């Protein structure tokens, strides 16, 4: 009898542990994006220098736009790839300007390329496509 109770307690404990953060590394929900950012506007001043980044609305939880080189940008969804129900809110860029952290369970991603550098997440941040019009300093973000 003791063994049965111990087994039941173990199973209940395990299921509570597992539900604390939906153990999942699935693709995040699809949201259509088709935005144009005029980088000449003061709101995007950080994107005029290489290594600069800024938060932009759109996607599931908002976006992080990062200028990787003169003409290459990275556009990430702020949705943690470990949390399929999105209850943990948006990931945030660390004060070091190197990492992006999910404050739910501590998953970390590189700002440079969105790659996971610390679990529990194992899937990189979702990226969106972009076209950069250098003449007009305009960034088109889309799926
Ligand atoms: S939701 Fe758990 S690590 Fe982000």
Is the distance from the beta carbon of residue 107 to the nearest atom of ligand 1 less than 6 Å? yes
Is the distance from the beta carbon of residue 79 to the nearest atom of ligand 1 less than 6 Å? no
CATH of the domain at 133: 2.102.10.10
pLDDT band (50, 70, 90) for residue 16: very low
Question: Can you tell me the mean pLDDT for 129-141?
Answer: 97
CA 34 – ligand 1 centroid, Å:
27
Is the distance from the beta carbon of residue 80 to the nearest atom of ligand 1 less than 6 Å? yes
The number of domains in the chain is 1
pLDDT band (50, 70, 90) for residue 26: low
Is the distance from the beta carbon of residue 116 to the nearest atom of ligand 1 less than 6 Å? no
User: SS3 breakdown of the chain: % helix, strand, coil, rounded to 5?
Assistant: 15, 30, 50
| Cα–Cα dist 3/113, whole Å | 50
pLDDT at 13 over 50: no
pLDDT for position 133: 97
CA 132 – ligand 1 centroid, Å:
32
Is the distance from the beta carbon of residue 125 to the nearest atom of ligand 1 less than 6 Å? no
Q: How many CB atoms lie within 10 A of CB 95?
A: 7
Question: Can you tell me the mean pLDDT for 69-79?
Answer: 96
Is the distance from the beta carbon of residue 91 to the nearest atom of ligand 1 less than 6 Å? no
Question: Can you tell me the mean pLDDT for 83-87?
Answer: 69
pLDDT for position 1: 55
Query: Is the Cβ–Cβ distance between 93 and 125 less than 8 Å?
Result: no
pLDDT for position 95: 94
Question: Can you tell me the mean pLDDT for 133-143?
Answer: 97
pLDDT for position 12: 41
Higher pLDDT, 11 or 51: 51
pLDDT for position 10: 43
| Cα–Cα dist 78/70, whole Å | 23
The residue whose CA is least distant from atom 1 of ligand 1 is 83
Percent of the chain with pLDDT over 70: 80
pLDDT for position 7: 46
Supply the range of the domain harboring residue 113.
2-142
């Amino acid at each position: 009898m003791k063994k049965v109770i111990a087994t039941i307690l173990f199973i209940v404990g395990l299921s509570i542990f597992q539900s604390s953060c939906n153990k999942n590394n699935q693709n995040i929900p699809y949201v259509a994006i088709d935005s144009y950012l005029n980088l000449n506007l003061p709101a995007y001043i950080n994107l005029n220098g290489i290594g600069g980044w800024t938060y932009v609305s759109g996607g599931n939880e908002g976006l992080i736009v990062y200028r990787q080189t003169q003409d290459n940008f990275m556009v990430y969804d702020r949705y943690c790839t470990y949390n399929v129900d999105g209850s943990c809110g948006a990931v945030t860029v660390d004060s070091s300007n190197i990492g992006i952290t999910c404050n739910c369970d501590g998953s970390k991603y590189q700002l440079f390329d969105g790659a996971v550098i610390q679990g529990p997440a194992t899937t990189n941040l979702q990226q969106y496509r972009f076209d950069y019009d250098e003449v007009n300093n305009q960034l088109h973000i889309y799926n």
